[in-house]
Structure 1
């Protein structure tokens, strides 16, 4: 079984059925045992990061944003460590810019502090001299699917998913809590969830289908460790686009297969970049060529490569847990100085 083809399939969507590795093996002309063995090997080699549900932050009612802080270099590691203690911080990086600390944060709808007050608290605690709150104004693409089978396709179609209104039950929330956990490779990896919930497979998969159709779950898939998978050149490239054509340019940017994330965000005084693209490549040379091709097509006024210098934190947020409420507890009702 070819590992590149295997990784391409599981990134697209891990089978939601009783014996998913058998399904994968059937698709790839192999055996269930070989599929489980290959998955386990790739997990041990830290090429596979996690297989679980990818839930939609906004659809679940969470408030989220990309945030940029300017912090004294001598205090940067300490500041990043404190920010990373927040359970809603999923990504936290040192980047090559005057705004040197960049992180994403999400808080539940009933957060005691709320998003803006939480970011303000973090800024004060780490003594950030400047800060930018950069929430998503429009999302064009969010889909991390690395080209592991070397298809080298420059463009891809970005499909829009139709959302069907679904009324969530207590069982839906219980299932979301389960499918956020990393999958264990075995013949029936969903069996422990079934047993814990006390339901059968039919109801389990029907509820997951509800979550997908309702837009609460974007997909159930495998996420890779970019560098271990051979994609050593990764950069956040930001673009200065005219507001009148920003959505058109964003749509074009999202079509590039090397782009995993593409968002429109607000501009700030001294920060004219409103289109954010995360680009993955197997080399710096390839990354440069992709950026050059994008620049030629997008008709943006300017762009800047926000190179990552250090990764402080990269996790999948756990929704509907008590962790964030516990983190907020010491700060409720207090005035920061």
Structure 2
């Protein structure tokens, strides 16, 4: 199968919508850590020195303008016992939409991109704790249905960073600057109960843009808002909930490029290098993953920039800082086939396995 190189979106502003300084401060605040309190927009407004109604109105407008994708709780997939991994596949480079549609139909696929590489389709997939197929069985079904020439499973061996904040105010220098190195994060399953499951079902997805966004979920659960908020705070402490935050449409917010930098380093330097790579402000995700004969890279970093050149600058700065790189490649996305938040504890997973595998 001949590989083709898709066109990379590298325009400086791309499809970006102009944002003023207040918008940039607001978006930084909304991405960072949306307060888990009964009236979070009031706290955001106080921090920005404006009225609550000003913040509510502008956030609603930013959602309507497709700059904010959603304001939502970000639950930890692995903490709930879901298995998940990144997958690289070689699919028909001339007709990628057909396999993309098949892959996208799986409820555990949250991200799916076309990238400029022989392995051209990259997606994340998760299966629920009591899945009859499991991850490997699910990928066997997807490989057969898509006609993929090859599939590489790239589970997380070490998680150094997963935090998708786009710095709206900082320039290239800020994005390409290293901060203090970070320790790998916890990725093990955590204890949870039926109340946790009910809270997840009631709160996942888009939170309403209103003064008390948790009120509807509290009524559904039959508890006061204050009790629900306290429970969510407890879920953060128990590592079930990472945070509540605004998720942006990258290109609409001005970040028209993302580059997946992959790195081969000496085996005895993986921990050190991964921790230092994760400290860069322009890096949202950093993992150690397994290698193959045709894939020698252990470390994966996602760089986000206002242009391809800005992504390159971030990755160049990492290479200069780390100094032990044996091989490096950068894969740019040309098409976003799917990007959603995973929905937990639904019947969709069982229905997919029943329909596609008869189990």
> Out of 123, 130, 133, which is 1:110 matched to?
130
- Name the SS for the 2:195 alignment partner: helix
The Cα offsets for residues 21-61 of structure 1, whole Å up to 9 and x where unpaired, read as: 11111111100110101101111111111111111111110
Residue of structure 1 equivalent to 2:241: 217
Residues of 1 paired with 2:111 and 2:61: CA distance?
Answer: 26
Query: How many residues are treated as equivalent by the alignment?
Result: 334
CA separation of 1:40 and 1:159: change in aligned 2, threshold 3 A = farther
CA separation of 1:295 and 1:107: change in aligned 2, threshold 3 A = same
> Out of 262, 270, 273, which is 1:246 matched to?
270
Whether the 8 Å CA contact 1:47–1:224 is kept in 2: the answer is yes
Q: How does 1:173-322 map to 2 (within 5 A)?
A: 173-298=197-322, 299-322=324-347
- Name the SS for the 2:267 alignment partner: coil
Residues of 2 paired with 1:204 and 1:186: CA distance?
Answer: 17
The Cα offsets for residues 62-84 of structure 1, whole Å up to 9 and x where unpaired, read as: 11111111112244211111011
Residue of structure 2 equivalent to 1:40: 60
The alpha-carbon deviation at position 162 of structure 1 amounts to: 8.4
The alpha-carbon deviation at position 333 of structure 1 amounts to: 5.2
Return 5+ residue gaps in structure 2 as ranges: 1-20
Residue of structure 1 equivalent to 2:14: none
Residues of 1 paired with 2:319 and 2:101: CA distance?
Answer: 35
The Cα offsets for residues 267-320 of structure 1, whole Å up to 9 and x where unpaired, read as: 001211111000001122222221211111222111101111211111111011
The Cα offsets for residues 230-281 of structure 1, whole Å up to 9 and x where unpaired, read as: 0112111111112211111100100110000000000001211111000001
Residue of structure 1 equivalent to 2:155: 135
CA separation of 1:325 and 1:166: change in aligned 2, threshold 3 A = closer
Residue of structure 2 equivalent to 1:80: 100
Residue of structure 1 equivalent to 2:144: 124
Residue of structure 2 equivalent to 1:330: 355
Residue of structure 2 equivalent to 1:95: 115
CA separation of 1:167 and 1:263: change in aligned 2, threshold 3 A = closer
Whether the 8 Å CA contact 1:65–1:133 is kept in 2: the answer is yes
- Name the SS for the 2:96 alignment partner: helix
Residues of 2 paired with 1:277 and 1:166: CA distance?
Answer: 26
Residues of 2 paired with 1:210 and 1:167: CA distance?
Answer: 12
The alpha-carbon deviation at position 167 of structure 1 amounts to: 4.8
Residues of 2 paired with 1:162 and 1:240: CA distance?
Answer: 23
Q: How does 1:12-91 map to 2 (within 5 A)?
A: 12-91=32-111
Residue of structure 1 equivalent to 2:178: 155
- Name the SS for the 2:71 alignment partner: strand
CA separation of 1:24 and 1:306: change in aligned 2, threshold 3 A = same
- Name the SS for the 1:73 alignment partner: coil
Residues of 1 paired with 2:332 and 2:215: CA distance?
Answer: 42
- Name the SS for the 1:245 alignment partner: helix
Residues of 2 paired with 1:212 and 1:158: CA distance?
Answer: 23
